[in-house]
């Protein structure tokens, strides 16, 4: 009999905050073995204390191939790999103000990072396992300052479809969140975060912006449904309709 999702061994890159942290909480509550990965050792330590003593927390920069190779060389078999990591600090700029270094950080964290996770993680995944990455609404409803993030999200979705074919029967999917109230909005809107999110909530058919738990629920579905692969699951409160 195939193990249920809650009995499996899951690696979450970005698990120290936001959507990744919510997913870690959900999986732990069901009895899964969870490994959280991030760059910031302090944040990882705090998250581990908040989650459970048996959570393995590993510092790793997924934009560095040597570090990703080292990460997987020491982990053993996994059932699922999830990445919610994104470095968008300084990326939301109008075209004349785009900083190439900031744009490169987005590409590295949201495209090259998942690519490296697939390259080194797939050999560690059981045949029934999956990879789940995080795209975003910017690929469908870009803002005037969002060209870089929109392009990288779209590229990641193309990668998901190609990998789903190449590494089958391992499944590869992406969740595409809309506007979600997570710490990343501090970088996007600064002091205007609350007002900005409320303005969007007033526009959405769902009547609110998302929560980290909404996205965790979607990722759990993608991990657990064995007939879903090469798919982008939109969790955005109807944003593509307005």
pLDDT one-digit tens code per residue, 148-179:
999 999 999 999 999 999 999 999 999 999 99
Cβ neighbours of residue 164 closer than 8 Å, sequence gap 6 or more: 171, 172, 173, 229, 230
State the virtual CA torsion across 18, 21, 23, 29 in degrees, nearest 10: -140
DSSP helix/strand/coil, 16: coil
CB-CB neighbours of 60 under 10 Å: 18
Tell whether the model's pLDDT for residue 188 goes beyond 80: no
pLDDT one-digit tens code per residue, 41-66:
999 999 999 999 889 999 999 999 99
Tell whether the model's pLDDT for residue 122 goes beyond 50: yes
Tell whether the model's pLDDT for residue 184 goes beyond 50: yes
The tokens describing 169, both together, are 């029967």
Helices 212-224 and 18-29: crossing angle in degrees, nearest 10, is 60
Q: Spell out the domains of the chain, with CATH numbers in brackets.
A: 5-237 (3.40.50.720)
């Amino acid at each position: 009999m195939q193990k249920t999702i809650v009995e499996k061994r899951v690696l979450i890159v970005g698990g120290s905050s936001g959507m990744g942290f919510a997913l870690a909480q959900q999986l732990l509550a069901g009895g899964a073995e969870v490994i959280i990965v991030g760059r910031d050792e302090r944040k990882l330590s705090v998250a581990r204390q908040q989650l459970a003593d048996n959570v393995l927390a590993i510092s790793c920069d997924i934009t560095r191939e040597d570090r990703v190779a080292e990460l997987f060389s020491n982990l053993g078999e996994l059932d699922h790999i999830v990445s919610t990591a994104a470095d968008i600090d300084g990326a939301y700029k109008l075209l004349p103000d785009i900083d190439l270094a900031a744009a490169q950080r987005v590409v590295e964290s949201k495209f090259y990072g998942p690519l490296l996770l697939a390259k080194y993680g797939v050999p560690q995944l059981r045949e029934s396992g999956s990879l789940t990455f995080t795209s975003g609404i910017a690929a469908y409803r870009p803002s005037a300052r969002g060209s870089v993030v929109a392009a990288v999200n779209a590229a990641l979705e193309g990668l998901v479809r190609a990998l789903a074919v190449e590494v089958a029967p391992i499944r590869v999917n992406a969740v595409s969140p809309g506007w979600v109230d997570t710490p990343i909005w501090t970088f996007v809107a600064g002091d205007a975060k609350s007002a900005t999110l409320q303005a969007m909530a007033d526009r959405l058919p769902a009547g609110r912006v998302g929560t980290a738990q909404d996205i965790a629920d979607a990722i759990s579905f993608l991990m657990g449904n064995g007939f879903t692969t090469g798919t982008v699951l939109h969790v955005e409160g109807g944003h593509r309709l307005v």
